[in-house]
Structure 1
């Protein structure tokens, strides 16, 4: 049996209150044993409604758990998504600093970010999706877990913003010219992630559901099956999931990346 409207509002309020107070709560799946993906979507939409009502503006979406190489690590075996807000997004150029004080158990994820000039529908292939993209960038998504020890199920992640905490997006590069080089590079390019100058992991873009464009295609299908979700639209920003493993971060650390195979600037982010 799915959640009734009063239960949906209750859990949405609990999730948002935990986020606002920077504290953790028990996984909703441990409180409500039958808590399903459908229930989680209802809670997530109610949380979005509450955040928009208090003045936050949705500017895009994040896709999570697109990297199949980390599924066993978290026990989550399907992608999730959540909103990106104007309040959680920051465009950066060159070395930058960021605070972690508003996040719980934060982790860093190097990702490919797209800005869209046209909408995306589920029937579109990767080539058609590429034609809808205005720009591409490299970004750091900072994810967090409202659930202690990063112990949860996929439905918990969906209910809790898709684990989204912040998105630091590097300089945008226009998508121009023939499609073929972009299609190839968006599957074969790599990102090396370093902590305080030491490489800790390196991933290839095909880790992300065979490539970031495929991740967007997956999201378009998921959104079409959700009556409360709106389709990907022009002007939207979408970050497509971590290319490497996600790593815990702490104040005083500097994390950086080098991208090979795409003309995207390296990123450096120091946490304070």
Structure 2
């Protein structure tokens, strides 16, 4: 277990690297940083950001797509879900289905098509998947710009947790209010939904709701279970927005490109984004 001084030192290092867009080395093996240690660092970062005046608006889920589990992990594959707080400073709601996003300061940026939900009612810590669905207010499609401070995108799970779960920024499309009938069948609907991702009109990848831990809705349930095991962190609350993870592999992006998405199986409009310096 890390000492409070070590936690603060690591938190300051990650905050400074993010502010200055500089790279970091992953935790050395002899440091023996556990997942619990990494979440301690993340909580310290969270506290410092709130003290600096940032507004926490929700949480981001990472590594909920089990089809990608064997693709990431420096010493061992990452086979479990992680999370990080989301702040208003890194989120932008799009006025239309096309947006423009600067990549200035983004380290090794990649793109992730995601679904985002807003919690309308606080679910019980022991809520079932169906009960969590009943607590959801709306659903939206979004693009996450994922960033990595570690050279060559090589990291272990503790590194990813401490590094803001690799979150850079979010572009969120129009929210769709969820009717009671939609919430009732949401898990099965999303499990049978697919999304395609194209760059400059060339199809590059596709992903499926069934690639998640059952579905993106189930990812929220798994997050709630994880939070129950972190006594220093509150479980899900009304008003939070929750991003549920990427549907496709994380694809490198650069200035001058235009990326677009399209859904099949769910009544969600695709989005497009043009990247600039």
TM-score range, shorter chain: over 0.9
Contact 1:120/1:132 (<8 A) preserved: yes
Matches of 2:20 and 2:235 in 1, distance apart? Answer: 31
Matches of 2:170 and 2:30 in 1, distance apart? 31
Listed as ranges, the matches of 1:65-80 within 5 Å are: 65-75=63-73, 76-80=78-82
Q: CA offsets, 1:119-155, max 9 Å, x none?
A: 1334212211110000001111111111111111001
**Contact 2:258–2:272 (CA under 8 A) maintained in structure 1:** yes
User: Residues 12 and 45 of structure 2 are in contact (CA less than 8 Å); yes or no, is this contact kept in structure 1?
Assistant: yes
Q: How does 1:164-183 map to 2 (within 5 A)?
A: 164-178=167-181, 179-183=183-187
Q: Which residue of 1 aligns with 2:137?
A: 134
| Aligned equivalent of 2:225, options 208, 211, 221 | 221
Alignment correspondent of 2:91 = 89
- TM-score normalized by the length of structure 2: 0.95
How many residues were matched structurally?
270
CA positional deviation for 1:181: 3.7
1:174 to partner: Cα distance: 0.5
**2 CA distance for matches of 1:257 and 1:242?**
12
2:50 is the alignment partner of 1:47: no
Q: What's the counterpart of residue 13 of structure 2?
A: 14
Match of 1:108 among 108, 111, 115: 111
Q: Return the offset for 1:184.
A: 2.0
1:222 & 1:64 partners in 2: Cα distance? 12
The runs of at least 4 consecutive aligned structure 1 residues that moved more than 4 Å come to none
Residue 189 of structure 1 deviates from its aligned partner by: 0.8
SS in 2 for 1:127: helix
In structure 1, the gaps of 5 or more residues are: none
Unaligned runs of 5+ in 2: none
- Measured after TM superposition, the shift of residue 84 of structure 1 is 0.9
Q: What secondary structure sits across from 1:241 in the alignment?
A: coil
SS in 1 for 2:148: coil
Q: Which of 43, 55, 58 is matched with 1:57 structurally?
A: 55
Using the TM superposition, give the Cα deviation of residue 33 of structure 1 relative to its aligned residue in structure 2, in angstroms: 3.0
Alignment CA distance shift 1:230-1:180 (3 Å): closer
2:148 to 114, 128, 145: 145
Distance 1:150 1:188 in 2: 31
For normalisation by structure 1, the TM-score amounts to 0.96
Counterpart check, 1:241 vs 2:245: yes
